[in-house]
Amino acid sequence: MPGNKIQCTLCPHNCIIADGRTGICGARKNNGGNIELITYGIISGYALDPVEKKPLYHFYPGTNILSIGSYGCNMRCDFCQNYNISQRVAAGFTTVTEAEKIVGDAQASPDNTGIAFTYNEPVIWFEYIRDVALKAREKGLKTVMVSNGYVNPDPLEEIVSFTDAFNIDLKAFSDESYRRLTGAGIEPVRESLKMIAKSGRHLEITTLIIPGQNDSADEIDKEARWIASELGKDIPFHLSRYFPMYKREDPATSGATISGLADIASRSLDYVYAGNISSGILQDTKCPVCHKTVTRRSGYSVRLMNLDKMGNCTSCGTKVYKYFT
């Protein structure tokens, strides 16, 4: 391109980047006509979390997962709870954590399933998550991505090849709402969801419910029906309670709103959960056939019950958990 510009084709922004500058995400830089990941190995967060915190309720429930993140994001959500890292450029950081170190720590961590790429947007960290994930797979560890799903099909195909489970944030269900809330369109995210579901990788979906923005009964009904028809009625769906954060000062979403929307979504989907809410009832898992409670959750405390060793309901034999230990 003229002037040594280069196009990044990782996500649908398809940024044209001038020499010495970064794209929208702040992580991918034009260095002399080549894309450089300036956050390679740069860690912003590093913790052993319950897998339910991602949230993943149907992927080895009750276990831990080593969770890591970096800096930058390819969306501009004004309600981001991790804005201090997602909207920050990783300037001045020089300590690189090698993939082998991450994998070694994951192996040494108690009751650990694997490694989760989370906290900021992992898609923009592509080269690093690939290197970590491939080494993790060699050691029998699972890999998880907590992502906004805003990625082009070709790189997503490669990501799917080395990732075992996804939680994708579906932030609204109309393109107008999506662009207003995130600065990006919804269609690439829906295409990503369909591609992940078709691959057979484990998939869960989270929608943060913001008052007056994406909390209408009609929108949630359409979203749940779309998930059921396009992805599968057994996809776990998390409706998460919003609290004022970053630039947005709307009042927190009420528990009653979350409960009502969960009831609506449950008409179409087998597994609907409430996040950031005190009531444990909307966090428990019930068999979708006989309605026997098979998992009770209180915060991140998990009690499994009425399940055989394969994750099937002992009352009626229905497969509840495909990924179970």
**Residue 270: its pLDDT value, please?**
99
| Crossing angle of the two packed helices 153-162 and 187-199, in degrees rounded to 10 | 40
Residue 264's φ and ψ, nearest 5 degrees, are -65, -45
Q: CA 301, CA 233: separation in Å to the nearest integer? A: 26
Cα–Cα distance measured from residue 256 to residue 262, given in angstroms and rounded to the nearest whole number: 10
Tokens 């690439």 correspond to 188
Looking at residue 227, the DSSP 8-state letter turns out to be: I
pLDDT, averaged per 10 consecutive residues of the chain (325 residues), comes to: 90 98 97 96 97 98 98 96 87 87 98 98 98 98 99 99 99 94 97 99 98 96 99 98 92 95 98 87 94 95 97 98 94
Written as six digits, the tokens of 32 are 């002399």
Whether the CB-CB separation of 283 and 274 falls below 8 Å is answered with yes
pLDDT at position 17 is 98
Pair of tokens at residue 183: 């600065």
Q: Does residue 37 contact residue 55 with C-beta atoms inside 8 Å?
A: no
H/E segment holding residue 298: strand 293-298
Measured distance CA(237)–CA(206) in Å, rounded:
6
The one-letter code for the residue type at 185 is G
Amino acid at 175: D
Q: Which residues pair with 46 in a beta bridge?
A: 68
Report d(CA 302, CA 122) in Å as an integer.
Answer: 27
- Tell me what pLDDT residue 67 has: 99
Q: What is the pLDDT of residue 280?
A: 67
Tokens of 110: 């108690």
Which residues, in sequence order, are CB contacts of 250 under 8 Å at separation 6+? 210, 211, 212, 213, 242, 244
pLDDT of residue 279: 64
